[in-house]
Structure formats: structure tokens, C-alpha cells
Amino acid sequence: MASWKKSVAAILLLGITCLNGCGTTGTPDYPIQPVPFTDVEIDDSFWSPRMEMNREVTIPYALQMCEETGRIDNFAIAGGLMEGSHQGYYFNDSDVAKVIEGAAYSLALYPDPELEAYIDDVIDKIAAAQEEDGYLYTARTAMTPDHMPPGGEERWSHIEHGHELYNLGHMIEGAIAYYLATDKRQLLDVVLRSLDLVEEVFGPDGMRNPPGHQEIEIALGKLYRLTGEPRYLNLAKFFLDMRGDAEGHQLYGEYSQDHIPVTDQTEAVGHSVRAAYLYSGMADIAALTGDDRYVQAIDAIWQDAVSTKLYVTGGIGATGGNEGFSTPYALPNETAYSETCASIANAMWNHRMFLLHGDARYMDVAERVIYNAFLSGISLEGDRFFYSNRLATVNGEERAPWFPCACCPSNVVRFLPSLPGYIYAHAGNDLYVNLFISGTGIVRTDRGIVRISQKSGYPWDGRVTLQVAPERRSGMFTLHIRIPGWARNEAVPSDLYRFTDQNTEEPILQINGVQVPLTVENGYVIIRRRWQEEDEVVLDLPMPIRTVAAHENVVADRGKLSLQRGPLVYCGLLCRMARQREW
Ligand code: FUB
Ligand code: ZN
């Protein structure tokens, strides 16, 4: 394994690869570590075509759209490399950053000199756009009197809506990904200089505002892992702790989850992308600091979200007005907002909850999101997108080629190639199989490398064949295979949705051709044995078509059922039909 490939682990939460000698070794992190996507090879009839599509169509297409809509020119203009003034939204820099991140993930697995040269050129423009003291925000550097960002001329004057820190957060993630994929640190140096400035401006003795739109907290956690510099972890924690601190700033309110301190929050409220990035950041910072108060808060918030604010597709954020959460059980179908970015953030959050707790219920939610609310956000051709993912429509809805606010397409570009990192995880000698996607994973345990191969026709077919081959011919490992909630008669890990039909078919487990009793703990069947290279586990997950009803408090779903087969949610059925057939 090339050293850069190993180091890309940092991108997916946990890699501890330090630039200047490692300061984080031995410091806390998630108790369960994901197997990074660079150690996972996918060979799957469902996902491989989608990953290829992202590489061959969506990445170049998104770059082209960033060019055509002036997103890349904004950097060139701010850097004095071309004439003109800023175009579009003040957070458009973040789209370029997300596409760089996605392109970097792709380059990490599939070197492509032409793409790399193109990104190098974009990075030159970004570097040019950075002001002398490190300030990087084209919306202000290239503004005109009739086109100014929130807060006008004054830097940092509208942290609530200005997105300076949000843009920087995405740029940090792009810079880390690009550095790990290519060893080139120009963009990394740019963001480090920006952060020097941010540290001068924000802090206990400076501005005590959290960013209006969260994201930088996640980025700073990754940067801490990469550099070993506690200052980045401290800054992330500072931003978390400023939220809801009325002494430090005028509170922004629930919309930005800035109504009370994060450690006192118990309900999912406000803008759903901000919220799920916040909860992901809280999980990261809890893991990295060992501060359990963040975990207690996100546990309660998760319970609220999954019990009262989750669509059957896994989408979150019911209303367009606040692009976010509504009141409990208010889950309209025709007007469902269910933003694609919110689905991505929800999957990120649930994956982190699993890494904290090791319970399959979080991966049940993540799987529901990935196969439904997320996947509907992009066409099979890879160049058309949904921003809102409605659950019902009267006149039909078409995916669009792009949006003036293009957060969703650029988010898809970076999420898809990171997906293999959600399949496997490990903690010591406990190996976890969370998603059923054919291919192989290399798990680096304390007792050596274990290679897991998986074959399945998922999501169309429920037979999964696994081979666990320790490098040293045999080894004692505990394999945890997720038995999805839907295969255990649990539609979601709450009473928000339930199966209304009777299913008597049980999952069947065989080890080396012998059926063994299937006992489920925390949503996993657990197999502890001394594994030999030729050992084979076959799991059969029956996939009958199921009918799903919502909790009676969900007024919009009264008298309606949806159909589900395996992890795929299909459609709503009208009550009359449902009643006639006596479902
Ligand atoms: O504000 C940046 C992004 O644009 C948000 O995450 C989306 O909801 C959209 O408003
Ligand atoms: Zn979006």
C-alpha cells in the first residue's frame, strides 16, 4: 500500500498522519475506526457504475458549471488575474472547494494527470485571491457597491449569514484531501494562513461568535488529525462552545442552533444542513477531546430527530422557509424540503454516531438515507440534480442541470467517492460490516491485516457472501455483521414508522455451509472465531415487499402506506387502495 494511500485515512475521520511529527498519537479519538475508502475496493453492480459516473461525468461537469457560472472566475478576479467583479452568491467559493475535495478523492484512487493539472490551475487562482493577511473570501475581495456580501465592506461583520467561515471550512477539507491525494500543499498553505488570521480575530479575547453556518468544526477536527496541532482542535471547540453563549454575541436563534449552548440542546431544530454538520462536529470533537457532554446532547437530539423529524426516505428538513426542521411529526410529502445536502449531512452524522456507540441503528438510518433521500438527488446520467427531494408530486418533478445555489451538486461530488469508507470499521479485533456492497476491504487491526471480501446483489438481492482472510493465515477476530432493521421487522429505530404486514421470513446465517443460530446484539450478528483464509460466511436477508405506515401523528401520512423492499423505499399508496386490499 503506497504511503499516500494510507495517509488518506485522515480524510475519513481517523487517519493520524502528521505533517511535522505526530502530536496526536495516544490522544483520544473514536473508539471505532472506519476503514478508509482508500482501503476499500468496490466491485459492485449497483455502486460501481455510480462511482464511475461521478468520476467520468459529475466531476468534469461540476467543474464546467463552476466555470460557466463564474465561480472559478471569482477567484481570478479577486486575485487580480482578470477584470470583473464577483458574481453569484457569497458562498459560491464553497462549491469550488467541494468539487476539489471530490476530485481529490477520485485522484487518490484513479490518478488522472489532466484533472490534476486542471485543479492545480484552480488552486493557483485561489491562492491569488487570498489577501496579504490571509483573508480568503472572494465575495468581499471582488465586491462592487451594488453586489456586496452580508455585512457590506466590513470583514467578519455578518458572521451569522456571511459564510466566511463556512467557505473556509470547505476549503480546508478540499485542501486536506488534495494534499493527501497528491502531496501538493499549496492549497493547504493557503488555508493555514487563513486560519492564522481567523485565530487573530476570534477567540476568548476577540470576537466570540460561532459561524452562522457550521462546517468549519468538522474541517478543524480533520486538520488537527493531520497536523497534530492542538490549536485547531481548540478553535473547533471554541466555535462549538460559543454557540448559545449570549454573553459573547447576540444569539442568532434556533435557525443556526444558536439559541442555547450546544451541550444543553436536546431537539433537532433549525436549518437542517447546519444542524447535521453541527452534530457531526460535536461527535468529532467529543471523540477527540473525550468531552462526553457533547455526546449526551447529540444522543438526545438524535432520538428527537429519528422519532419525530425523519422522512421514511431518511431525508431531514421538512420546510423550505427555514430549509430545515419543522415541529415534531410535521412531515409533508408534496412540499418536503429534504435537501440533498441535508441527507449527506445526516449520513455523516449517523456514521459518526455509530463510531461513537457501535450500535447498528445508526447505520440503519445512514443506509436508509444513502439508498433513498441521498440517491434521488442525482440522476443516473450524473448531470441532473434535485435540491429538494419531494416525496410526492402532482405535476411531476424534473432534476435540474444546476442551481444558482449549487450546494447540493457539489456535495454529491464529494460524498459519492467517500461512500466506500462507510462499509467497514474496526475496534481492536472487532470487525464491523455495515453496508452490503461487493468488493474488498483491507482492515488494519492490532493483530495484523485482515482482508474482507464481499459479494452481494444488494439492494436487489439479500444474499451476502463474506470471506474474512487474516494475513497471518489464521486469527482470532470478532466479526459483527449488521442485520438491517428492515430485516428485523424494525422499519426505523423509533416508532415513527412501522411495518404493517406480517413477515415470517427470518435471516439465515451459514458459516462454511453450516447453518448457525443467528443472535442479534446491538443490531449485529456477532461471530467470534479463529478465522482461516478459506472461511466463508453467507447471510441471507429475505427481501419481501413490505408496507410501511407512519406514526398516527404524522398527519400528512394518515391513510397512506409506502412500499419498501430491502433498503429501498418506493412510493406512497393511497388509503382507499390500502383499505380495499386490507393491508
Ligand atoms: O448556505 C449554504 C448552503 O446553501 C446551505 O447549506 C444550503 O441549505 C443552502 O442554503
Ligand atoms: Zn444543498
Model confidence pLDDT, tens digit, residues 537-552? 999 999 999 999 999 9
* Residues 538 and 564 grouped into a single domain: no
- Report which ligand 1 atom has the smallest distance to the Cα of 273: 6
Residues 530 and 557 in one domain: no
Please report which confidence band the pLDDT of residue 4 belongs to, taking 50, 70 and 90 as the band edges.
Answer: very low
Q: Are 479 and 433 in contact (CB under 8 A)?
A: yes
Q: Which residues line ligand 1 (CB under 6 A)?
A: 91, 213, 273, 323, 339, 341, 405, 407
Instruction: Say if residue 446 is in the same domain as residue 380.
Output: no
CATH number of the domain bearing residue 85: 1.50.10.10
Q: Mapping DSSP to helix (H, G, I), strand (E, B) and coil, where does residue 486 land?
A: helix
Per-residue pLDDT tens over the stretch 84-94: 999 999 999 99
Please tell me whether residues 563 and 529 are part of one structural domain.
no
Report the percent of the chain where pLDDT is more than 70: 93
Ligand 2 centroid to residue 256 C-alpha, Å: 16
Residues with Cβ within 5 Å of ion ligand 2?
339, 341, 407-408
Ligand 1 atom closest to Cα of 323?
A: 8
> CATH number, domain at 436?
2.60.420
Q: Which residue, 269, 398, 391, is CA-closest to 323?
A: 269
Atom of ligand 1 nearest to the CA of 91: 2
% of the chain residues with pLDDT over 90 = 89
Q: Are 385 and 340 in contact (CB under 8 A)?
A: yes
Helix ranges (DSSP H) in 369-439: 407-418
The secondary structure of residue 505, as a DSSP letter, is P
Q: What is the pLDDT of residue 220?
A: 98
**How many other C-beta atoms lie within 10 A of the C-beta of residue 451?**
15
In this structure, are 392 and 457 located in the same domain? no
Cα–Cα distances in Å, from 310 out to 313, 332, 387, 491?
A: 8, 11, 17, 12
Edge-to-edge strand order for the sheet containing 508-511?
Answer: 40-42, 439-445, 448-456, 463-470, 536-540, 508-511, 514-516
Q: What is the tally of structural domains in the chain?
A: 3
For residues 377 and 360, give the distance between their C-alpha atoms in angstroms, rounded to a whole number.
Answer: 25
Distance between CA atoms of residues 472 and 182, nearest Å: 32
Out of 373, 396, 422, a domain closes at 422
Give the closest residue to 141 by CA, choosing from 78, 93, 89. 78
Rg (the chain; Cα; Å): 23
Task: Give distance in angstroms: CA of 29 to centre of ligand 1.
Answer: 29
**Are 505 and 558 part of one and the same domain?**
no
| Per-residue model confidence as pLDDT tens digits over 226-274 | 999 999 999 999 999 999 999 999 999 999 999 999 999 999 999 999 9
Give me the chain's average pLDDT, please: 93
If one compares 210 and 576, the residue with the highest pLDDT of the two is 210
Ligand nearest to the CA of 323: 1
Judge contact between 257 and 274, C-beta under 8 A.
yes
pLDDT (average), residues 164-185:
98
Residue 375: which domain range?
3-422
Atom of ligand 1 nearest to the CA of 405: 4
Q: What is the secondary structure of 481-502 as a DSSP string? A: EE--GGGGT-SSSSSSEEE-S-
Residue 6, pLDDT score: 36
Query: Is there a single domain that holds both residue 416 and residue 442?
Result: no
When pLDDT is cut at 50, 70 and 90, the band that residue 9 belongs to is very low
Given 401, 422, 443, the domain boundary residue is 422
Strand partners, 33: 426
Residue in 159, 339, 344, 402 to alter for ligand 1 test, most ligand atoms within 8 A of Cβ:
339
> What is the reported pTM?
0.95
Domain identity same for 504 and 409: no
Residue 473, C-alpha cell as written in the block: 493465515
494 with 555, same domain: the answer is: no
**Would you place residue 573 in the very low, low, confident or very high pLDDT band (cuts 50, 70, 90)?**
low
Whose C-alpha lies nearest to ligand 1, atom 4? 407
**Amino acid 253: pLDDT:** 98
Q: What's the CA gap between 418 and 39, in Å, rounded?
A: 11
Q: What are 505-517's pLDDT values in tens digits?
A: 999 999 999 999 9
DSSP state of 470: E
Could you tell me the three cell numbers for 420?
A: 466506500
Cell of 421: 469508507
User: Domain end: 369, 387, 422, which one?
Assistant: 422
What is residue 19's predicted lDDT score, i.e. its pLDDT? 54
Span 284-299, average pLDDT: 98
Burial class, 513, CB count within 10 angstroms (exposed 0-12 / middle 13-18 / buried 19+): exposed
Ligand (nearest to CA of 377): 2
Tell me the per-residue pLDDT of 309-353, one tens digit each, with 9 for 90 and over. 999 999 999 999 999 999 999 999 999 999 999 999 999 999 999
According to the model, what pLDDT value does residue 572 have? Answer: 66
Residue with CA closest to ligand 1 atom 9: 407
pLDDT at position 308 over 90: yes
**Residue 341 CA, ligand 2 centroid: distance in Å:** 4
Q: Which residue among 92, 166, 256, 323 has the greatest number of ligand 1 atoms within 8 angstroms of its CB, and so is best to mutate?
A: 323
Average pLDDT over residues 189-203: 98
The answer to which of 21-35, 202-216, 360-374, 379-393 has the lowest mean pLDDT is 21-35
Atom of ligand 1 nearest to the CA of 341: 6
In this structure, the number of other CB atoms found within 10 A of the CB of residue 308 comes to 22
Q: Which pLDDT band, with edges at 50, 70 and 90, does 360 fall under? A: very high
* pLDDT reading at 3 higher than 80: no
Q: Among residues 428, 15, 34, 6, which one has the least CA distance to residue 221? A: 15
Do residues 401 and 496 share a domain?
no
Q: How many CB atoms lie within 10 A of CB 401?
A: 12
Contact criterion met (CB below 8 Å) for 389 and 315: yes
Contacts of 183 (CB under 8 A, 6+ apart): 4
pLDDT band with cut points at 50, 70 and 90 for residue 576: very low
Shared domain for 467 and 550, answered yes or no, is no
Whether residue 482 sits in one domain with residue 406? no
What residue's CA is closest to ligand 1, atom 6? 273
Does residue 477 contact residue 531 with C-beta atoms inside 8 Å? yes
pLDDT at 463 over 50: yes
